[in-house]
Structure 1
Amino acid sequence: MASERAKFAFRSLPNKKFSFFENKENQERLLKWSMKDRILIQGFLFDKQFKEYEKDEFVLDFFKDPEVTSSLKSLSSSGKWSPIGIEAKSVKVETIPVTVISMDFFDKLYKGVAKESGALCKCLDEYIDEFIASDELRKMMLSEESDYYDIFDESEKSELLFRLFRHLCIGGQVCQYEDELQPYLDITKGLYKDLVSVVKDSNSNKLKVQSIAFKVTAFEKDGAIYFPSTKNHMQDFAYLIIDPLKRHVNVIQHVFGASAF
């Protein structure tokens, strides 16, 4: 008879500092984009070696762990962060590539989406779902009809860096969008640096990302989504970013809505 699988155990790191949130300018940008106090990063430790093929077991163990259920927070409809308090019955796990180490990744945006000066190229206002696109950047993010929709290929769009950038560009419910590209790049870079671990490859002597990332959704017994939110909105997201050597997990989540001014 096969022995029962040893589960992963987790410990919350409530005192772990994320420099991104301690930066006043970052907070002001998030407020302008209607994301302040609606985006959160929390840190955890885990107890044993992790292999990527164990991702489903790892994530399910995470959402069933008593330490996690009592410390991982979710945002209520009233805008309050509080512990989730329940175990997951099931989870959905999607592997997210994390290979980009340079913001040069976004240089191609200067070929029509933004001018060389950094100013975003404007377009006629267009309502796409519940969002308004007034520049080529937001239109590229929201509409397949954009002339620049394919400027990044599908593998590039799947990267964690691009996903964070896209979430920030689209913003929250009452987002005041930027006229310049640079603020989006700066905030994306700061967030990415807090989330991922970069090391020097001993063979090539080049930098590489050590982290592994997953997009996660957790479900209750009746199959209803409860994390990152009870909705299924494109701007409601949660990513687990794992450093397998340090045995750290960073959880970043955002729930779409309006920031309180």
Structure 2
Amino acid sequence: MAAGEPGDLGGYYFRFLPQKTFQCLSTPETTSRLRQWSMLGRVAAQAFGFDQTFQAYRKDDFVMAFFKDPDVIPNLKLLSDSSGQWITLGTEVKKIEAINVPCTQLSMSFFNRLYNENIVRDSGHIVKCLDSFCDPFPVSDELRKVLLVEDSEKYGIFSQPDREEFLFCLFKHLCLGGALCQYEDVLPPYLQTTKLLYKDLVSVRKNPQTKKIQITSSVFKVTAYDSAGVCYPSTKSHEQTFSYFIVDPIKRHVHVLYHSYGVGDMS
């Protein structure tokens, strides 16, 4: 049987946790930024509990059981491609793909190289460049060149493993935004919002032996398919349309961070 197809799903049961709110998406400052970045009303975070020990090597069974669960089906939110309204899945998932996303970074100093490499001035202002295009994104500053243009001079300041880190993925998603994104002239709003999201979604604990803080969450980028093809996070593929499952094996919670690329709320 192919990975991610229904079979013996190992008895995972889930429960929706509507009381769990994500401050990272609801503070006035973040709301204002998401509006500017054309993501407001198109990004959501939800929490679900589960009842079995999570084992990372069985992630495909876990995710498939999630999509089959009777408490997930009526509660998992996604945006309709046709109406633009929030809906539930309304189709039977036949197959899933869950890509492991490394999540090891504990400090925002990860991004200090943007200052060190003169992508961003000491004042926080992002250095401008000649306008170009990296389909479908306009590139008008050195930050977007580092994020998007593989043959640019400074692209290599983040290695491929760096770029796969969940912290980097969040940062890049916020920087690129939605369809009518108004880019920031300064870096701090991107860093501050990335940090808020990361802290709210990812779980840490102090190692009792070493006394060091360690991340306990596992992160997966998830796609689901029905009999017609991709059905989640959207039937339309886009770099900025995503769903991440952030699994806390100790609390037995899974946080779902979802965004569908498009024109965000203006008001």
Equivalence for 1:202: 208
Distance in 1, Cα, partners of 2:133 & 2:222: 29
Contact 1:39 1:254 in 2 (8 A): yes
Identity, in percent, stands at: 47
Question: Structure 2 residue aligned with 1:96, among 98, 101, 116?
Answer: 101
The question of 1:64 aligning with 2:68 is answered yes
Contact 2:205 2:215 in 1 (8 A): yes
Contact 1:200 1:206 in 2 (8 A): yes
Distance in 2, Cα, partners of 1:75 & 1:182: 29
Distance in 2, Cα, partners of 1:228 & 1:248: 20
Distance in 2, Cα, partners of 1:45 & 1:148: 42
Secondary structure in structure 2 of the residue aligned to 1:139: helix
Equivalence for 1:161: 167
Contact 1:65 1:87 in 2 (8 A): no
What is the identity, as a one-letter code, of the residue corresponding to 2:244?
Y
The question of 1:46 aligning with 2:57 is answered no
Distance in 2, Cα, partners of 1:7 & 1:171: 38
Gaps of 5+ in 2: 1-7
Question: Structure 2 residue aligned with 1:10, among 5, 14, 34?
Answer: 14
Distance in 2, Cα, partners of 1:19 & 1:155: 29
Contact 1:69 1:87 in 2 (8 A): no
Alignment of 1:168-247 (within 5 A): 168-222=174-228, 224-247=229-252
Distance in 2, Cα, partners of 1:13 & 1:87: 22
Distance in 2, Cα, partners of 1:5 & 1:175: 41
RMSD over aligned CA atoms reads 1.0
TM-score by length of 2: 0.94
1:6 CA displacement: 3.0
What is the identity, as a one-letter code, of the residue corresponding to 2:177?
G
Would you say how many aligned residue pairs link Structure 1 and Structure 2?
257
1:85 CA displacement: 2.4
Contact 1:228 1:237 in 2 (8 A): yes
Question: Structure 1 residue aligned with 2:85, among 66, 70, 80?
Answer: 80
1:100 CA displacement: 0.6
Distance in 2, Cα, partners of 1:6 & 1:92: 17
1:199 CA displacement: 0.7
Give deviations 1:136-179, integer Å, cap 9, x for gaps: 11111111122111111111111100000001101110100001
1:105 CA displacement: 0.7
Contact 2:203 2:216 in 1 (8 A): yes
1:118 CA displacement: 1.0
Equivalence for 1:37: 41
Secondary structure in structure 1 of the residue aligned to 2:157: coil
Equivalence for 2:24: 20
Distance in 2, Cα, partners of 1:144 & 1:52: 32
TM-score by length of 1: 0.96
Distance in 1, Cα, partners of 2:73 & 2:90: 5
